[in-house]
Structure 1
Amino acid sequence: MRYAIIIIFAGLLATACNKQIDSVRPLTKIDKEGELASLAGIEETTVGNYSLLQGSGFNSFDVPMHDFAESRGNNVTLQTWGPVDKTTDAFFFRNSSSPTQGNSVDFYRGAYQVIVGINTTLEGIAAMEKTTFSMLTEAEKNRFRYAKGENLFLRAMIYFNLVRVYGKPYYQSAATSPAVIIKTSSDIKDVPERSSVKQVYDFIIGDLQTAAQLMKAPVNKTNAFASTAAAWSLLSRAYLYMGGSAAAPDAAANQRAIEYADSVIDHSGGKYILLQGEAYSKMFADDELGTIGRANGTTNKELIFAYDNAAGGSSLGQFYHYDAIYNVGATFLPSASFKSLLVTGDVRGTFLKLNPNSGFVETTKFLVLPEAWLTRAPYIYFRLAELYLNRAEAYAKLGNTAKAKENLAAIHTRAGLPASDVDNLAAQDVLAAVLKERRIELAFEGHNSFDYFRNGLPMTRTAADNNGTALTIQPTDPKVVLELPKN
């Protein structure tokens, strides 16, 4: 398809020492007076920007981002223990800047490829606003506004992932801690200085607030595309990350995290619901043969924004599933520590499956119509359960035990567990219970390691999960923050 190549950029290299972005060469040049001079062209390039989120082909974004979130946590262990390589570099906290020894170079390059594509599209949008926008019909203006909102949302999401990988946790001197370059143009000669963690978060929030308003335009899209609710979801998550450590929470940020979660849960007109019973079980059930239709995540009412892999598949599948035909996959397996959290009666225990070809217990969250090492499962960026857990955590940090328990119970009981588990919690134990629930409910969805470090908590692996030697990484350990790739 034309949009799949129109904004793919090759050769984007970045350096940490001189902060240069070298040689951005589009494979198919975008002409601001051509493709981006029409509404159809803007919509095509916007879809192209989405396509760069998928971890297949030569561009990488979701695979390395997922790697940093999950393999640096304690929900996974390695299938095979051997010399450190590209897929295990993050697990070992080696943080290599070599393109063959770690995922950092691919992620950094991939992230800025998306950003440059988005900035190019936004420049075309800005040019149209000054010229032909007034000649559009009202319906066309709404589509135009929505596309602008989508691009601002995507840019904010990319920067959020960059700052949580290359910046210290927010509570650690955000105003002075260096993060990443904020690039708002497509001009490769425009290379600003690195911004602080706080400056990047401020930029993210500004883009999201504008995007949320623009995407209120009456345009109907599935959850495979951004929306006002997706922008609110990321705002809730961003403020949660800004909410201070468990020991010293920031009341204002936690209140904002609650307000944006409220917006999604209570003010989306019932568009999103917490799936219950069989519907919840099927959301992450084994669908290796495609009999329950999990590949079509666009109709799932709990998903707020999820990349649709149904047509092409993402190489993320190789992380968790062993393919006997090609003898590849299952780099990471659910850890003994994680499996010990799943008590009798917890529906989420059914989201693990013994692979008879290997003897490995795997997560079924990505076991959807696998093709070699690919998965056709939707890649979930935001779903409603996270918003409940965001509220529970923020309320716990604000000392509102009753509200924290109310939101925690919605997730805990949905999993088939008794409400008394939550009702009987002492006030001082509520936050720990919420974080445990996040660990189980959102397992393998890109949250695990960050939930420790942003809260000022150590991440500990048991000996059973770390080749016989227990490991603890403190949130202030320099290894928590990846260095910008040098080449």
Structure 2
Amino acid sequence: MIKNIYKWCLASVLLVGITSCELDREPYETIEKDDVYSSSNSLEALTLGNYAILKGKGIADGWSWVNNFYRFGEYAGDNVALSGSTTDPLYYIYNYKRQTTGYRKQAVWTASYKAIVGCNTVIARAVEGESAEIDHMIGQNYYLRAMLHFHLTNVFGRPYVQSPESNLGVPLKLTNDVNDQPTRSTVKECYQQVVTDLKKAESLLSLEQTASYVTKEAAQALLSRVYLYMEDNDNAIAYADKVINSGRFNLLSKDDFKKYPKYTPDENSETIFALRYVDGADNPGQWDNWYTFSGMYAQVDAQGNPSLQGSGWGELYASVTYRDIVEEWADDARAAFVTAMEIDKNADDFWGVWYGLNSYGSNDSEEMKKINGLLFHQDSVSADFSTLYQVLSHDNGSVKKEVPITAVVDDKRGVTNYTVTPYQINKTTGSTALLGDPVKLRITKKLATRQTYPKYFITKCSGQENSGHLWSPIVSRLAEMYLNKAEALAKKGDVGGALLNVNVIRKRAIGAEAEYTTADVTAEVSVLDLVLKERRLEFAYEGHRKFDVYRNNRVLNRTYPGTHLRGNDPFFEVDPFSNVIIEYLPESEILAQPDLQQNP
């Protein structure tokens, strides 16, 4: 495994030594490998090559680290819903039907270790103390090695809070020796090495660079997250404070935050570190906007705006449970990244979208009724929003029912909440009856659908520089520091401190009227519940969600519409102690190195 990766890596990491201003303009630019050892800046070139391995050959490189890692954090969470069948292997991540093969996990593994070996090469060859520039470069490689070992451990190992001394993580590759092929370390050992590397990086990183490159604050930000995952709450707070108090970063305004993906990392005051993609260089092909990570989330026009005629597959939508919380307030800035795709915005008629058990067969099992109760329906609505005209189909035709709509106005939040108690029909006999409980109704113009699923496009990963699905994936941003602090303080029992930090983010996203008070903390809703809800709102589609759920030993609730409920033994809920929350190691790695123990 490691031996092959070492052979591959030299051809992949050799990059040109160029001035800092050129780096900011064309990050991670490559040269031929024969030129690198004659370059006076060969170590810098190797360092830039390690960045380049992570981003691959462009936004559509199916074997890049970026194009695959973020899928594991989001597809296995509860912020997305797959609309019907797909040929993309994302299906096995999304529905927890693990496989020992599959190129997405293989790509994450291979790209990670290629870059790690590249980092080890620089660390072994460079001499500390020769100059601030060389020390800074060494520090970047310690950071990248730590980041990759950390993410690998989270994908292939159990959460730190679950017996880290005995649960297996991943091999810790700490040399560039081709014969050094380590077996799996424990989760605790992996985290200890990550902390050691990040602290070393922090001590060496002294130069200011743009957010496209690793800096001291990037190391501190990742340390805050690592300590949070370890539930070392004091250190999570301390390192978050280091970043906040550095004065180098500022939260975007509410209006600018709605345009977050439009900005490059270098022009965004909130981004601490992101992997930069460059317009033109990284998306030159006509299919690039289809095969990138965000191509599954939406179809977009040339400027990155959602469009039913645009580029991209647009098969994976915002889940109804995410939309429920992001729509609680009329003007939550996070809602700007989800678009209901209306067929005709100028149409005069309105439609109601809801989900529930519309029809059933006489011999349907209770599980089948439960699954069918999580299907979407779209029926016309009267002009005054008082009546839903529900159409129910049965074996011999259909019937139409007029269902009263209940409207509840919430002046404080600026929203009107609609509910209905719809009918259900026995498909065999044609008999109808009212459903027992009211269901939520969303009233819109008629929505486009895919395999009956309304299209709610996600555009948080599209439109950089107004260019299609171009995106520079965020590793760390300032908002995370406030929410890391909030979570750590909540776990320390400091309710006031936790709410103070959560409210920094809520005030930016919604306004002062949405700030929490101690009255919002009840026997049913803990302060930690409020913090984790805010993390879900804030970091949706940035690769956090799966890990945030399971590292807190929470059950993932998948009881909402989506094709994760199709097939045999669907998961309505996923227990944090289930085997399925960690990926199998790629089978090819087990075959190449038999002493690697496979996950259960």
Q: TM-score, normalised by structure 2?
A: 0.67
Q: Which amino acid aligns with 1:394?
A: A
Alignment match of 2:7 (pick from 24, 48, 56):
24
Alignment match of 1:279 (pick from 256, 277, 280):
256
Post-superposition offset of 1:370: 9.5
Question: Match for residue 457 of structure 2?
Answer: 362
SS at match of 1:179: strand
Distance 1:28 1:223, change over 3 A: closer
Post-superposition offset of 1:427: 6.3
Distance 1:64 1:420, change over 3 A: closer
Range with bigger deviation, 436-445 or 342-351: 342-351
Question: Match for residue 66 of structure 1?
Answer: 70
Does the CA contact (< 8 Å) of 1:347 and 1:415 recur in 2? Answer: yes
Post-superposition offset of 1:167: 0.9
Structure 1 residues 57-96: aligned runs within 5 Å? 57=61, 59-81=63-85, 85-96=88-99
Distance 1:155 1:432, change over 3 A: same
Residue 436 of structure 1 pairs with residue 424 of structure 2? no
| Cα deviations by residue, 1:227-283 (Å, 9 ceiling, x for unpaired) | 11110111000011111xxxxxxxxx01110110011112x1x21011123222222
The alignment-based identity, stated in percent, is 30
Question: Match for residue 126 of structure 2?
Answer: 125
Question: Match for residue 180 of structure 2?
Answer: 190
Structure 1 residues 235-250: aligned runs within 5 Å? 235-243=223-231
Question: Match for residue 547 of structure 2?
Answer: 450
Question: Match for residue 237 of structure 2?
Answer: 258
SS at match of 2:111: helix
Alpha-carbon separation, structure 2, partners of 1:477 and 1:227: 37
Distance 1:387 1:327, change over 3 A: closer
Alignment match of 1:207 (pick from 186, 197, 206):
197
Alpha-carbon separation, structure 2, partners of 1:318 and 1:32: 32
Question: Match for residue 347 of structure 1?
Answer: 333
Post-superposition offset of 1:321: 1.8
Does the CA contact (< 8 Å) of 2:13 and 2:50 recur in 1? Answer: no
Distance 1:28 1:178, change over 3 A: closer
Q: Which amino acid aligns with 1:458?
A: V
| Cα deviations by residue, 1:356-378 (Å, 9 ceiling, x for unpaired) | 68652212211215999x73222
Structure 1 residues 29-428: aligned runs within 5 Å? 35=36, 40-54=41-55, 56=58, 57=61, 59-81=63-85, 85-99=88-102, 103-126=104-127, 134=130, 141-216=131-206, 219-243=207-231, 253-266=232-245, 268=246, 270-284=247-261, 294-311=262-279, 312-313=282-283, 315-322=292-299, 328-342=312-326, 343=328, 344-355=330-341, 360-368=455-463, 375-417=469-511, 418-426=513-521
Post-superposition offset of 1:120: 1.6
SS at match of 1:424: helix
Alpha-carbon separation, structure 1, partners of 2:559 and 2:80: 11
Alpha-carbon separation, structure 2, partners of 1:22 and 1:230: 27
Q: Which amino acid aligns with 2:216?
A: T
Question: Match for residue 379 of structure 2?
Answer: none
SS at match of 1:409: helix
Post-superposition offset of 1:355: 4.5
Range with bigger deviation, 422-431 or 475-484: 422-431
Q: Which amino acid aligns with 1:331?
A: E
Does the CA contact (< 8 Å) of 1:160 and 1:201 recur in 2? Answer: yes
Alignment match of 2:575 (pick from 474, 479, 483):
474
Does the CA contact (< 8 Å) of 2:12 and 2:53 recur in 1? Answer: no
Alpha-carbon separation, structure 1, partners of 2:145 and 2:571: 38
Structure with bigger strand share is 2
Alpha-carbon separation, structure 2, partners of 1:189 and 1:161: 24
Does the CA contact (< 8 Å) of 1:97 and 1:105 recur in 2? Answer: no
Q: Which amino acid aligns with 1:228?
A: K
Range with bigger deviation, 183-192 or 311-320: 311-320
Q: TM-score, normalised by structure 1?
A: 0.82
Query: What RMSD, in angstroms, separates the aligned Cα atoms of the two structures?
Result: 2.7
Distance 1:125 1:35, change over 3 A: farther
Distance 1:224 1:420, change over 3 A: closer
* Runs (5+) with no aligned partner, structure 1: 1-12, 15-19, 135-140, 244-252, 285-293
Distance 1:349 1:143, change over 3 A: same
Distance 1:36 1:430, change over 3 A: farther
Q: Which amino acid aligns with 2:495?
A: T
SS at match of 2:516: helix
Post-superposition offset of 1:175: 1.0
Distance 1:370 1:223, change over 3 A: closer
Does the CA contact (< 8 Å) of 1:333 and 1:361 recur in 2? Answer: yes
Distance 1:200 1:29, change over 3 A: closer
Distance 1:263 1:371, change over 3 A: closer
Does the CA contact (< 8 Å) of 1:52 and 1:59 recur in 2? Answer: no
Question: Match for residue 435 of structure 2?
Answer: none
Does the CA contact (< 8 Å) of 1:36 and 1:124 recur in 2? Answer: no
Alpha-carbon separation, structure 2, partners of 1:33 and 1:145: 25
* Runs (5+) with no aligned partner, structure 2: 15-31, 301-307, 344-447, 450-454, 589-600
Alpha-carbon separation, structure 1, partners of 2:92 and 2:466: 25
Question: Match for residue 413 of structure 2?
Answer: none
Post-superposition offset of 1:81: 2.9
SS at match of 2:93: coil
Alpha-carbon separation, structure 2, partners of 1:58 and 1:460: 29
Post-superposition offset of 1:143: 1.1
Aligned residues: 433
